Amino acid sequence: MKKLMLVALLAVAVAGCGDDKPEIPTFAGWIGGEVVGAPTFMLPGPVQALKSAQDQSAQSGKAWFFEKAQWKPKGWSLWVASNVYSDYKTPRNDLEYLRKGFARADAAHERAKQDSNFIGGISKWLKANNVNVELNFLGYDSIPGSLKPVNDAYKGYWLTYNNQPCERAFRLCVNNYFVSPAARLAGGTSLSFKEWISPYLVFGTDLKAAGQKDVIASQGGMSDERSPFFDYWPTMVFLVNPEGKVTRAWLPQKNDAASVQRVQGAIVADVGGEYRDLPIPEDAYSPGPSRYSYYGQYFIETGVQAVIETFQEIQNSK
């Protein structure tokens, strides 16, 4: 009996020492983004698509402009939803919130670089494997009013950042670039941020869920839409099936951020079919989108507001 056990153990050891690399797991816990039920994917406000056209009088020979649009599912789609313009560093731009569990946000142009790197990694994998998943970018904040005169003069050149590998408006990587602004508070024509993301903030009863809820409670909780928790507007990622139902929602607010590998795993597991056996590259570095940004103002508007407040303080001190 001891000899048989020894042979069995040696067989296991030899099997584990082969040249084949272990497969990357595609179980739900590793992939993340789990949702409860089957929430319908919604765009929070009126929808516009960013387009370009050849224009020799424009900077770099292209004019950029928004036009009214609509979207309906035609198959599987992946959405990268981002707060594009705000340069607030914390909720309400109050640095005291750094003591309450919030991380400092990067500047808008730095977040755009991170998002481009993430989107580029996904796009490269989709194209290399002929995966029929629509890749869309969604800007869910409003376009700053201060950009309008600049864009009128420069043919929309400053409506979007220009980063590798996707270039301006992620045009080399995405199928569509949409804008659909959420509202900070309910009562207008757009869904409030709380209304929009609440279907993805349903938690289970295990220890992981309890920990997530404790963190959110320390950030103001979810019961009041005015909570600083709902000032946290990061880049979120959604995988949507042909029926328009969300099968994965990666929200950094839940400490559940996307990465290129996690998205690849979700497509293998959820879309399945002919993609069920697609290899997932074992990159040591799997980029994710930007994780920290907050509802607020574009940096130009923030600067103007600071000047006005300083002037007001001087007037009040007289």
Domain ranges of the chain: 31-317
Distances 220 to 165, 183, 191, 270, 280 between C-alpha atoms, Å:
37, 19, 20, 34, 38
- Is the pLDDT confidence value at 147 over 70? yes
pLDDT confidence tier of residue 158, bands split at 50, 70 and 90: confident
Q: What is the pLDDT of residues 227-262, one digit of tens each?
A: 999 999 999 999 999 999 999 999 999 999 999 999
Hey, what are 206's tokens?
């295990």
For position 290, what pLDDT does the model report? 97
- Is the pLDDT confidence value at 18 over 60? no
pLDDT confidence tier of residue 13, bands split at 50, 70 and 90: very low
From 237, 240, 244, 305, select the one nearest 33 (Cα to Cα).
237
- Is the pLDDT confidence value at 200 over 80? yes
Average pLDDT of the chain? 87
Average pLDDT (59-88) is: 94
Q: Are 98 and 251 in contact (CB under 8 A)?
A: no
Q: Which residue has the higher pLDDT, 1 or 90?
A: 90
Q: Are 71 and 238 in contact (CB under 8 A)?
A: no
Distances 189 to 13, 28, 186, 192 between C-alpha atoms, Å:
63, 36, 9, 9
Hey, what are 59's tokens?
């900077």
Q: Tokens 């409030």 identify what position?
A: 192
For position 265, what pLDDT does the model report? 95
- Is the pLDDT confidence value at 284 over 90? no
pTM, rounded to two decimals:
0.87
pLDDT confidence tier of residue 302, bands split at 50, 70 and 90: low
DSSP-assigned beta bridge partners for residue 294:
232
Average pLDDT (178-189) is: 96
Burial class, 158, CB count within 10 angstroms (exposed 0-12 / middle 13-18 / buried 19+): middle
Q: Which of 60-74, 222-236, 272-286 has the highest mean pLDDT?
A: 222-236
- Is the pLDDT confidence value at 133 over 90? yes
* Three-state DSSP string of 189-216: CCCEHHHHHHHHCCCCCCHHHHHHHHHH
